[in-house]
Structure 1
Amino acid sequence: MYAILDIETTGGKYNEEGITEIAIYKFDGHDIVDQFSSLINPEKPIQPFVVNLTGINNDMLRHAPKFYEVAKRIIEITEGCIIVAHNALFDNRILSTEFDRLGYNYEMESLCTVELAKKLIPDMPSYSLGKLVRSLGIPLSDRHRAQGDAKATLALFKVLLAKDTSKEIIKETLRKDPKRQLEPKLFDIIENAPSETGVYYMYNEAGTVIYIGKSKNIRKRLMQHFTNDNRRSKRLQSQVTSVSYEKTGSELIALLKEAEEIKHNKPLFNKGFRQIPYTHQLSTFVDNYGYINLKLEKADGRKKAIMTFNNYQQAKTALFNITGENQLCQTLTGLSEPDKECFGLKLNDCYGACCGKESVAEYNNRVNAFLEKNSFENQNLLIIDRGRVIDERSAIYIENGIFMGFGFYNLNYQINNPEILKSIIIPMCDSRNAQHIIQNYMQRKKGLKIVNLSANSVK
């Protein structure tokens, strides 16, 4: 559990500052579960430059509660949490100093979003909160007011959690909060899990990831893990002490994250995981008459593939659908005997490329239209899918035919502005496996929105 906070102060000499405003969002890693914000009477004047910066003046605070009047609420909302703040050292010091004045020892573990951002989003022009969130396309209102800055810090922290593919933040959280390692019952873990799409991570007592999985219903999948009675499941159950999860909204992102993070983290109980065993691929060749032919063949990493398939039956079914949807010739897609009129000609589904009745140019135009739509080669595009919440969308980013990663956005200008788009993308490795996952998903989900960045159009 995290307490995302921001504090505004009077300014002044070191350790003599007073709090003028505080905002805290209690965040479970996925949702806000509690919040508190208040102006505070510091019982001392505010420095003029601070008044100009924040807009908070002495008159505004005359009837505000004093710190001792809100101290109990601050303790309640931050209890059991790790403090997260932009420049956490400052906020932690100010809070501790105020509690010291009350004779209360307030010591909290903290995470600093400045330090996390420097590690996870390197080479940004500035790491000040205002400039950093603007670079990431995160809306920021009421700058230099506690509630506005705390909301922006929360949004930034969500981005950092998503970019943290090595799970260093979660591991550090578990290390700093030993009670999280000793969840008493698997039932409690299941109860706290969402019934949503995402990736989940199981940890042992040392905070090491021992299993990674994905599901369209995380809670249901955990129930299966923890109720199975086979030997492997029982071993897993005996070692799990906590589970974290990341909602993705999009099943495609969950599939991609699961595959890459298993490869990166090599969890103990994912040893049996193999890259998706695509056995067949679709390729092309030009015959002696100049027609572009489609051909199913066994998967070969040395050869260029338009599509890959898990098995021959899936490949054959897909090829039948491709042939019909694009009005292609069954002979030229390998579904009828070579050098013979295809069966589709008798049904008027073929225009006669198999017997020279249709011109090479007309036929090849339809093949090329199919190839352009289904091949990423040299294309810059976004695959738009569901987000984690109702007003959010996800985007898979393809640049020059290479899978670059994914991101989440709320506003269209975040994907229309190239600089902001690249800053919100969480990098992932391109591979045949990733291409296979993306292409198969696109085949299954026919209604996906595809944004062609080169042509600035939508398919």
Structure 2
Amino acid sequence: MYAILDIETTGGQYNEEGITEIAIYKFDGHEIVDQFISLVNPEKTIQPFVVKLTGINNAMLHSAPKFYEVAKRIIEITEDCVIVAHNAQFDYRILRTEFSRLGYDFQRKNLCTVELSKKLIPEQPSYSLGKLVRALGIPMADRHRASGDALATVKLFKMLLAKDLEKEIVKSFIKTEVEKGLAPKLLDIVSGLPSTTGIYYVHKENGDLIYIGKSRNIKKRVNQHFTNGSTKSKKIQLEVFDVTYEETGSELIALLKEAEEIKVNKPKYNRSLKKTIFPWSLYLEKGTEGYLSLKMQKTDARKKELASFASHAEAQSALFKITDNYRLCQKINSLEAVKTHCFPFELNQCNGACIGKESPEEYNRRVEDFFENNEYQNQNMIIIDRGRNIQERSAVLIENGTFKGYAFFDLNYQVNNIEILKNIIIPMDSNRDSKNIILSYLRKKKVFKTLSF
């Protein structure tokens, strides 16, 4: 649990500042579950430049509660939380100073979104909150007021959690819980999970990941792990301490994240992703007569495939469809073993390449047409799909034929402005697996839409 906060002060000499406004959003990593926002009477004069910056003046604070009147609420809402703030060193210092004046030693673990942003979103021209969220397309209201700045920090932190592929932020939180000796039972773990699409992470007691999975129903899938009698499931049941999750809405993003994060984190109960993730592929070959053929074969990592498939039946079905759509020849594509012409020739669905009636040049042009239209190589495209809620959409970015990563957006200008989209993209590796996952998904699933740029 995180307490994401922002504090406005009077300004003045170091450790003599007073709090004029505080906003705290309690955030469980997915949504806000509690909040506290209040003006505070600092019992001292606000510096003129601060009045101009925040719009908070002395008159506004006369009837506001003094710090000791809100201190209990601050302690309660931040209990068992990691404090998160933009420039956390400042906000945490101000809080500790105010509590020390009351004779209370206020201590919480804390994270700074400035430092996290520098690590996870490098090469930004500025890491000030206003300029950073503007570059990321995060809407912001009431700049330099505690509630507006804290809410923008919530949205920024949610994006940083998604970009943290090695899950260092979440791991550190789990270790914090372990220090308190908490040991939730399997039933408690399942009850806290959503019945939505996403990725789930099984942690043992020291925070280490032991298994990563994806599902269209996270709660149901984890429950299966906890009730299954297989050797692997029993080991997971014995070692599990907590299960964290990340909702994706889009099954495509869940598939891509699962493949990449297993490679990055190498959980011991995940089988390494091998080439057999898509064991059947289509390859382009040139026969002795000069005709280009599409051959369905076992996947060979040494060769460049046109497309890959999860099963022989899927590959065969796709090859029949391609052959039909492009008026190719079933005999040349080894879908029909005959000595003369193929059967579709009798139905006027093949131009006769199987018996030399059509020249290799004419036939091969249609094969090349398939190749150009069914590969995203050299293409610039955005795949728009479901988001994590009804207002949100997801975007998968492919630039110059290279998979760049994904993002979530709720404003059209974020996806229509390619520079903003690039800033909010969570980068991922472009490799054979990601390419085949995307192509396979586009073949089998209906996405919201695709955009070219």
For normalisation by structure 1, the TM-score amounts to: 0.91
Could you tell me which residue of structure 2 aligns to residue 148 of structure 1?
A: 148
Moved more, 2-11 or 131-140: 131-140
SS at match of 1:35: strand
Moved more, 441-450 or 104-113: 441-450
Could you tell me which residue of structure 1 aligns to residue 263 of structure 2?
A: 263
SS at match of 2:323: helix
SS at match of 1:335: coil
SS at match of 1:384: strand
How far apart, in 2, do the equivalents of 1:437 and 1:375 lie? Answer: 13
Compute the displacement of 1:95 (Å).
Answer: 1.2
The letter for the 2-side match of 1:302 is R
Contact kept? 1:181, 1:242, Cα under 8 Å: no
Compute the displacement of 1:418 (Å).
Answer: 2.9
The letter for the 2-side match of 1:34 is D
Could you tell me which residue of structure 1 aligns to residue 238 of structure 2?
A: 238
Moved more, 427-436 or 203-212: 427-436
List per-residue Cα deviations over 1:138-176 (Å, max 9, x = no partner): 111211111111111011101111111111111222233
List per-residue Cα deviations over 1:109-156 (Å, max 9, x = no partner): 101101111111112111111111111111112111111111110111
With over 3 angstroms needed to count, the CA separation of the structure-2 counterparts of 1:29 and 1:352, relative to structure 1, is same
Compute the displacement of 1:198 (Å).
Answer: 1.0
Compute the displacement of 1:356 (Å).
Answer: 6.6
SS at match of 2:269: helix
Could you tell me which residue of structure 2 aligns to residue 115 of structure 1?
A: 115
Alignment of structure 1 residues 30-429 onto 2, 5 Å: 30-178=30-178, 182-271=182-271, 274-285=274-285, 292-337=292-337, 340-350=340-350, 352=352, 354=354, 366-429=366-429
With over 3 angstroms needed to count, the CA separation of the structure-2 counterparts of 1:11 and 1:135, relative to structure 1, is same
Moved more, 344-353 or 150-159: 344-353
How far apart, in 1, do the equivalents of 2:285 and 2:258 lie? Answer: 35
Q: Percent identity, please.
A: 61
Compute the displacement of 1:224 (Å).
Answer: 0.8
SS at match of 1:436: helix
RMSD: 2.4
Compute the displacement of 1:366 (Å).
Answer: 5.0
Contact kept? 2:396, 2:407, Cα under 8 Å: yes
Compute the displacement of 1:386 (Å).
Answer: 1.1
How far apart, in 1, do the equivalents of 2:149 and 2:9 lie? Answer: 13
SS at match of 1:269: coil
Compute the displacement of 1:341 (Å).
Answer: 3.2
Moved more, 339-348 or 369-378: 339-348
The letter for the 2-side match of 1:83 is I
With over 3 angstroms needed to count, the CA separation of the structure-2 counterparts of 1:403 and 1:385, relative to structure 1, is same
How far apart, in 2, do the equivalents of 1:150 and 1:370 lie? Answer: 51
Moved more, 388-397 or 366-375: 366-375
The letter for the 2-side match of 1:177 is E
What is the number of equivalent residue pairs in this alignment? 453
Contact kept? 2:253, 2:406, Cα under 8 Å: yes
Contact kept? 1:86, 1:114, Cα under 8 Å: yes
The letter for the 2-side match of 1:53 is L
Contact kept? 1:133, 1:140, Cα under 8 Å: yes
Moved more, 216-225 or 59-68: 59-68
How far apart, in 1, do the equivalents of 2:413 and 2:113 lie? Answer: 24
Compute the displacement of 1:108 (Å).
Answer: 1.0
With over 3 angstroms needed to count, the CA separation of the structure-2 counterparts of 1:412 and 1:105, relative to structure 1, is same
The letter for the 2-side match of 1:117 is S
| Structure 1 portions without partners, runs of 5+ | none
